[in-house]
Structure 1
Amino acid sequence: MRRRHWAGLGSASVLALALGLTAASAQAPSAQTPSTQAPSTQAPATIDPTLGIPLPEQPALVILRDERPAEASREEPGMVTGTVAPSGVPQNNLVTSEPQPTPATTLGVDDRPAALDIPASDIPATNIPAVDLPPLDPALSPPERLRSAAPSEVTIPPPDLPKVVVELPSGSTLAGDIAARMTEGLALPRLAERERNEILAAYQAQENRPLWIDGKGWSEAARHLVAQLGRAAEDGLRPTDYPLPVFEASDKGKLAEADVRLSALAVLYARDARGGRIDPRRLSKLITPTLYLPSATEVLSELTAVQDPGTALAAYNPPHEQYRRLKAKLAELREHLDDTPLVRIPAGPPLKLGMRDERVPLVRARLGLGPSEEPVFDHSTALALADFQKKAGLPANGVLSERTLAALGTPATARGEQDIIAQMERWRWLPPDLGESHIIVNVPEFMVRVVRDGKVVHQTRAIVGKPDTATPIFSHKMDHVIVNPSWNVPPSILKKEFLPGLAADPNYAAKRGYVVTRHGNNISVRQPPGERNALGWIKFMFPNDHAVYLHDTPNRRLFASERRAFSHGCVRVDNPFLLADQVLGPDWSHERLKRLIGSGERMIKLPQPLPIHLVYNTYVVGADGHMTVFDDLYGFHRLVRQALEQRG
């Protein structure tokens, strides 16, 4: 039923009841004679010329904001009469209309429900019997209370009205602007074409509706996302890589562009957090980790499916405990400003031990040494400079080279930040899940560890590759062990050592216990099993492109050295049969394995493949917060730090 019709029925009911009351009053005996009635103190009422009854003051017609009828007063004993007229007086939270001179039946009421503001009647009391109304239940809503209090025979059900929902602006309103501003929104220099296309496809799948914008700007989810981008520096990322767009909420074009730009920044951050800032394979052919870079489709699907996309975005950073310790150390370092006075040292030729130069006093001052009588680059200066070079990741040769001079001009705090950030970057190259049980070989530390459920259950010393035959950095899975292994001489050693020796002496290999096999114009050299075999009695295999593995060695005295970089690239393990206990399980104890020695080559498969990670951690933070720095054995740390600085 239309509201206007409802209001008309209400007015007709009120007038009909008033006629009935007037007739009843005329038939009843008067309680007073005219001479005994008290004079009226009220203003004379207007007499309706048709009905002959006094009319009350005009009430107000009000429109409720929440479309609910006004609550019935508990003080009214029964039904009252009155006429309907508009009023402009506001009541509480009611929205009133301007006074209108037209009758109630022609008010032009809109589709919102109307409440009748009816004052108490001035008609004298009659002998109409009282109507018993049930008590009002305060738990009911105002419309339900009105319906429960009114007599059933006069109850008028409210009309069914549609609800009005307002969106500013709606998704469909911005869809055209998003499609038009897609190119501008995706204009980030480091965002690859593949990611741009995936973001475009993600919006098209949503009919170009916004992902992060609501009627007032950033949505609640977007604000979480923006906050995480602002905290990029805490994870060693560069906040300027994720510049947030500036827009006015009234500019639909800027709103659309900002929505697309935030999606692009989130994708870029996620890929950077997983190690996408630099390509490690371009630094060295020996750094070949498998990066787990998420696609734009994966990132946007995950972020738009959660209430707090900021937390989901932060989770793309490495979850490893060592990474969290480095992050805490970075925050600690930034809290303490470097108080080392910087001294500007002019450029010049390299300075070595025993050289005289006017720059020597400046070098000593920069290194915190006292003044010397002569400007001679003496032993104490060279030692202090070598210590500085070691901490800076430079060759610790005690020579004031051009690179060392540049490092001396960098504040210690800034240099420390760069070192920690470079180490954090290398943790991004590892898989997010290292494996419940895994082996980790830290090359600069010369150590092998077996980790199970987050705890180190076995560790041993290792010998790694020499600087000119460095051990590669990568992750793989160990799947079998060979007892009594043969050693097939790799091509690099064959070319450098055996071919020249064979050219000079055809018996060069045989004299050393090697077997030479010819395949046409090609030859291969193999060392059979035995105590002189270069691989010792056992080797741990994880087939890879670098042809390296873990193995025993007949030259065990080298494990006593502090700096153990002696191999051609493979990792030699101290006490290898104890390591076999950990990887082969209880069925193959080291006693059982040792009984196989000398009985011919034997392959034993692992119960299940075991992840192994060859890493290059030069900065390691202990559980107590103490940071240990290992030598940059191959210069890989310096390469990473320089690459990050140059990219910035």
Structure 2
Amino acid sequence: MRLRRLVETVSATALGLALLLAPATAQETTGELGIPLPEQPALVIVKRDAEPQRLDIPAPAEVTLDLRPSTDLQSAEAAEAKDMVTGALSTQPDRSLTEPELDLPEPEMPPVDPALTKPIEPVQPQLAKPAAPQIDLPPLPDVAVTLPAGLELSGRIAAQAEIAAALPRLSARERADIVAAYAANENRPFWIDGKDLSAAGKQIAARLGHAGEDGLRTGDYLLPVFEANDKDSLAAADIRLSALAVLYARDARGGRIDPRRLSKLITPKLELPSATEVLSELTGSADAGAVLAAYNPQHAGYQRLKAKLAELRIHKPETPVARIPAGPALKVGMRDARVPLVRARLGLGSSEEPVFDRSTALALADFQKQAGLRADGVLSDQTVAALAMPPSTRLESDIVAQMERWRWLPTDLGENRIVVNIPEYKMRVMHGEKLVHEARVIVGKPESATPVFSHKMDHVVVNPSWFVPPSILKKEFLPGLANDPNYGARRGYVVTRGKNGNISVRQPPGERNALGWIKFMFPNDHAVYLHDTPNRSLFGAGKRAFSHGCVRVENPFALADQVLGPEWTAERLKRLIGSGERTIKLPQPLAIHLVYETFVVNEAGAVSTFDDIYGFHRLVRNALEQRS
């Protein structure tokens, strides 16, 4: 029995070695691989206490491996197992050497729930997928991208803003404000819509084209030219239109000339709008043209002048006035071939001799006066130029100059106000457009002119003292005091000498006081005010330019009735006369305007002219003509 087990062990070992050496010695023969086994060593059996005995074991037959696929596998799992390794193992050995078969009992498996079983579906062979059919897709529509309005011009506007806004009469600050306004709008255009002006842009352009209706010069606001398909020119045109609108608004408010450069006595507070304000109002309005036009004065006096200007231009004669040749200045008694032309121009009859006589000089002086020239009756070059201009044209220039001075007034004159027209020698108290009080006044002499400005009256002084102003002190009192230390005292003045050598002269209240019994105060840089006067007889004169600059009022207690209210009647104020100085506050500050109107148009359209006593009208007209 032991011998048999030993043989079986040796056979199994030899079989394992044959399997390991099979790949190296295999030969392909009709699907079978023959593997020669190594020579078996001799087996020797040793028994205890006996001689070793050799056992002869026959060599095993050739081992054959069948690698052909088996047809007995019925499932996908069996086929996969076959692919992994083996085939059927067959031998042709001696039966005595084969491995004994084991008789093992079948394992008992629990019954399977039919509900959990799933029939195995036969594996269908995979067929090649057919090629996908070629489908012709319809063309995709063009994609339309809508950009914010004007965004396509933003880059060009940003690049050109500073250059396009550079109008000569706009300051650097105004140009910078225009550029900043575009930057705040993402550099999109304000007035260009697509390839043309927007509705607002056309409204602004129309107003600029009618600038002459308000006495402005249309040539100052020439519209930009642009190409509809040229984005650079569109961008530049939009910026330039903004700059022109800003310039127009400033000119309409009085920015064409600086009144303080004409005279130190013309000191209005101009209400010039900023570029930011103008563009903000225009872009936020439904009617940009109306907003732009509203920068011109809306006062009734201005509107009547505007209507008269339009009337003159409609009826302007087409036939020019005969031109008078230039030559030497002509005075009375001089002979000149131009004298007949001068007389004809002035509406005088012909003369036998070309002599510049007294009648010609008087008529010429009247013309010079109306033209705002020096009325000396001398035919100067300036007078010749004025004679060459048709009367209607000269009146146009005068009205335009007067309209310009209206621009210097506040837009809000005050519902209740005092207006002193210096060339007319008149003072008026107005409630709205209703005249409630009027009085004659005395104004400053040409050498001590009454200034032109607006202010607020806030108090009244009864029994005032008069402090001699520095100009009078220097011209009159100091020379007199140098010659006579009692010069002031003998005239009723109190002279005070300060420690630093300064001298002040005061006239106490009284009947002879230069201010009379009452003065109306509106503190200002010129130290002028309205007041009473002891020289009341001067109100009877036709031309009343007699003061040192203040305005003397006829019947000042009647004016006090208008400004102080019912609590302080004229009778109550007069009872204070002769007592100490008394200051009375107005119930509320009252607007006062010292104006210079040499041309006034009434409600019927008639023109009234007043003397240009200080030459202010001529200064304004000449400045406007030189600008043109």
Which one of the candidate residues 414, 419, 422 is aligned to 1:435? 414
Q: Is 1:572 aligned to 2:552, yes or no?
A: yes
Pairing 1:383-394 to 2, within 5 Å after superposition? 383-394=362-373
Q: Is 1:401 aligned to 2:380, yes or no?
A: yes
Q: Is 1:413 aligned to 2:443, yes or no?
A: no
Secondary structure of the residue that 1:262 maps to in structure 2?
helix
Secondary structure of the residue that 2:189 maps to in structure 1?
coil
Q: Who is 1:524 aligned against?
A: 504
Q: Who is 1:542 aligned against?
A: 522
The letter of the residue matching 1:237 is L
Q: Is 1:620 aligned to 2:600, yes or no?
A: yes
The letter of the residue matching 2:569 is S
Instruction: State the Cα deviation string for residues 300-350 of structure 1 (Å, max 9, x = none).
Output: 010000111110000000010000000000000001123676233233333
User: Are the aligned partners of 2:162 and 2:179 in contact in 1 as well (CA < 8 Å)?
Assistant: no
Which one of the candidate residues 599, 610, 617 is aligned to 1:630? 610
Q: Who is 1:511 aligned against?
A: 490
**Cα distance in 2 between the residues matched to 1:184 and 1:517:** 62
Q: Who is 2:274 aligned against?
A: 295
Instruction: State the Cα deviation string for residues 205-262 of structure 1 (Å, max 9, x = none).
Output: 1111111111131011111111011110000001111111111110000001011101
Secondary structure of the residue that 2:176 maps to in structure 1?
helix
The letter of the residue matching 1:228 is R
**Cα distance in 2 between the residues matched to 1:607 and 1:586:** 10
User: Are the aligned partners of 2:442 and 2:547 in contact in 1 as well (CA < 8 Å)?
Assistant: yes
Q: Who is 2:513 aligned against?
A: 533
User: Are the aligned partners of 1:199 and 1:264 in contact in 2 as well (CA < 8 Å)?
Assistant: yes
- Give 1:109 shift: 6.6
**Cα distance in 1 between the residues matched to 2:325 and 2:209:** 39
- Give 1:384 shift: 1.5
- Aligned-residue RMSD, C-alpha: 1.7
**Cα distance in 2 between the residues matched to 1:585 and 1:106:** 96
Pairing 1:444-593 to 2, within 5 Å after superposition? 444-520=423-499, 521-593=501-573
Instruction: State the Cα deviation string for residues 355-376 of structure 1 (Å, max 9, x = none).
Output: 3333211211221222101222
Q: Who is 2:241 aligned against?
A: 262
Call closer, same or farther: CA 1:241–1:339 in 2, change over 3 Å: closer
Q: Who is 1:225 aligned against?
A: 204
User: Are the aligned partners of 2:162 and 2:176 in contact in 1 as well (CA < 8 Å)?
Assistant: no
**Cα distance in 2 between the residues matched to 1:278 and 1:469:** 24
Pairing 1:145-160 to 2, within 5 Å after superposition? none
Q: Is 1:315 aligned to 2:294, yes or no?
A: yes
**Cα distance in 2 between the residues matched to 1:552 and 1:432:** 30
The letter of the residue matching 2:138 is G
**Cα distance in 2 between the residues matched to 1:339 and 1:277:** 29
Identity %: 72
User: Are the aligned partners of 1:438 and 1:451 in contact in 2 as well (CA < 8 Å)?
Assistant: yes
- Give 1:594 shift: 0.4
Q: Who is 2:578 aligned against?
A: 598
The letter of the residue matching 2:545 is A
- Give 1:170 shift: 4.1
Secondary structure of the residue that 2:488 maps to in structure 1?
helix
Q: Who is 1:368 aligned against?
A: 347
Secondary structure of the residue that 2:497 maps to in structure 1?
strand
- Give 1:461 shift: 0.2
The letter of the residue matching 1:628 is S
Pairing 1:194-209 to 2, within 5 Å after superposition? 194-209=173-188
Q: Which runs of 5+ in 1 are unaligned?
A: 1-104, 113-161
Q: Who is 2:131 aligned against?
A: none
Call closer, same or farther: CA 1:340–1:483 in 2, change over 3 Å: farther
**Cα distance in 1 between the residues matched to 2:436 and 2:324:** 50
Call closer, same or farther: CA 1:508–1:339 in 2, change over 3 Å: farther
* Structure 1 stretch displaced more, 363-372 or 321-330: 363-372
Call closer, same or farther: CA 1:570–1:172 in 2, change over 3 Å: same
**Cα distance in 2 between the residues matched to 1:170 and 1:550:** 59
User: Are the aligned partners of 1:225 and 1:310 in contact in 2 as well (CA < 8 Å)?
Assistant: yes
Secondary structure of the residue that 2:589 maps to in structure 1?
strand
User: Are the aligned partners of 1:343 and 1:365 in contact in 2 as well (CA < 8 Å)?
Assistant: no
The letter of the residue matching 1:264 is A
TM-score where L is the length of structure 2? 0.77
- Give 1:398 shift: 1.8
The letter of the residue matching 2:587 is P
- Give 1:562 shift: 0.7
Q: Is 1:108 aligned to 2:138, yes or no?
A: yes
**Cα distance in 2 between the residues matched to 1:283 and 1:571:** 22
User: Are the aligned partners of 2:195 and 2:234 in contact in 1 as well (CA < 8 Å)?
Assistant: no
Q: Who is 1:238 aligned against?
A: 217
**Cα distance in 2 between the residues matched to 1:200 and 1:369:** 60
The letter of the residue matching 1:616 is Y
User: Are the aligned partners of 1:175 and 1:209 in contact in 2 as well (CA < 8 Å)?
Assistant: yes
Q: Who is 2:327 aligned against?
A: 348
User: Are the aligned partners of 1:338 and 1:412 in contact in 2 as well (CA < 8 Å)?
Assistant: no
**Cα distance in 1 between the residues matched to 2:575 and 2:504:** 30
The letter of the residue matching 1:388 is F
Q: Who is 1:144 aligned against?
A: none
Q: Is 1:192 aligned to 2:171, yes or no?
A: yes
Q: Who is 1:324 aligned against?
A: 303
The letter of the residue matching 1:396 is A
The letter of the residue matching 1:301 is S
Pairing 1:268-287 to 2, within 5 Å after superposition? 268-287=247-266
